[in-house]
A = this chain, B = another copy of it.
């Protein structure tokens, strides 16, 4: 059982914190939303009135924030910069999806402050956060990974040690770029098949059992009517928003640019999601890219 300071109780952070509570950990939580704090308090968390207060006297700090600038601000900037308030040798886990460069800046600064830092972005969405089945992609020293492992296991199912500082963010970037490409490709294939008279379910099954097989065909089919309980079955409500996929693709493009990696289909996927947002579809699930293709 650990004493954990948890910062950021949004759609992802909220259920992650609850799973830690269920696993028997003691939590001090902070968020800007009073409502989020109330919910956590009702489940047994101690509510802190600032991030600095939340990390006082804890063994582990976990953060789950929307973007790199928030994480930079939290740990590094101003008098309330958490790295100046967390006690030495504390494990700090940032599960936000952020720029690799910022993750590396955090690693360096944490080391200077005598802290043990891992970048540990997740995959699996709100559903995975609630069910405690998230995947964690962890970057940091092997010892730091080992230290974080039991804790992450209370929130997720697959915990990967991707490599050194920033490697978690890099792995997530690569995975989500591939995911975006495959989702669009799947939508293109299904749309073309249906326009030529094939049944979407039949074609999905054929491709799933052939070389076209992928995660979307297995559990997240973008074509309405093929699968129950996916966003496509619900007018693309819920799931992983186009806006968030566009954000992740922006991070991927930045990583590609910095490392001079050619990502032609990744860049094209970003363009298509950009066009989809421009057409007003930003808050739909990312499998709604089918609508860009078929005008529905």
A binding-site residues for B, Cβ under 8 Å: 100, 123-124, 135, 137, 158, 160-164, 166-167, 170-171, 173-179, 181-182, 184-186, 188-193, 195-199, 202-203, 205-207, 209-216, 218, 220, 250, 252-257, 259-272, 274-275, 277-280, 292-295
- Evaluate contact between A175 and B275: CB separation under 8 angstroms: no
Say yes or no: A199-B278 contact (C-beta < 8 A), given A191-B262, A193-B174, A212-B179.
Answer: no
> Cβ of A254: which chain B residues have Cβ within 8 Å of it?
257
Q: Which residues of B contact A271 (CB under 8 A)?
A: 262-264, 267-268
Q: What are 17 A-to-B residue pairs whose CB atoms are below 8 Å?
A: A160-B206, A162-B203, A163-B199, A170-B198, A174-B203, A175-B189, A175-B207, A179-B211, A181-B181, A181-B182, A182-B214, A189-B266, A192-B266, A196-B261, A253-B257, A260-B277, A262-B278
Is B188 in contact with A185, judged by CB distance below 8 angstroms? Answer: no
Q: What is the chain B residue whose CB lies nearest that of A295?
A: B278
Tell me, rounded to whole Å, the shortest Cβ–Cβ distance linking A179 to chain B.
5
Tell whether A175 pairs with B210 under 8 Å between CB atoms, given A182-B181, A262-B275.
yes
A178, B185: Cβ atoms under 8 Å? yes
CB closest residue in chain B, given A184: B265
Chain B residues contacting A196 (CB-CB under 8 Å) are: 100, 166, 170, 255, 259, 261
Q: Looking at the assembled complex, report how far the CB atom of A296 sits from the nearest CB atom of chain B, in whole angstroms.
A: 9
Residues of A contacting B: mostly? helix
Q: A167-B197, A192-B266, A213-B215 are in contact. List 19 more A-B contacts (CB 8 A).
A: A135-B206, A161-B202, A167-B198, A174-B190, A174-B198, A185-B185, A188-B266, A191-B261, A195-B259, A260-B277, A262-B292, A262-B294, A264-B274, A264-B275, A267-B270, A267-B271, A275-B292, A278-B295, A279-B295
A212-B176, A262-B293 known; A192-B267 Cβ under 8 A: no
Please give the distance in Å from A152's CB to the nearest CB on chain B: 14
Enumerate chain B residues within 8 angstroms of A257, measured Cβ to Cβ.
Answer: 250, 253-254
**With A170-B196, A198-B170, A277-B260: A267-B267 Cβ-Cβ less than 8 Å:** yes
Q: How many angstroms between the C-alpha atoms of A253 and B267 in the bound complex?
A: 10
Instruction: Give A294 to B211 CA distance when docked, in angstroms.
Output: 24
Indicate if the CB atoms of A177 and B189 lie closer than 8 Å: yes
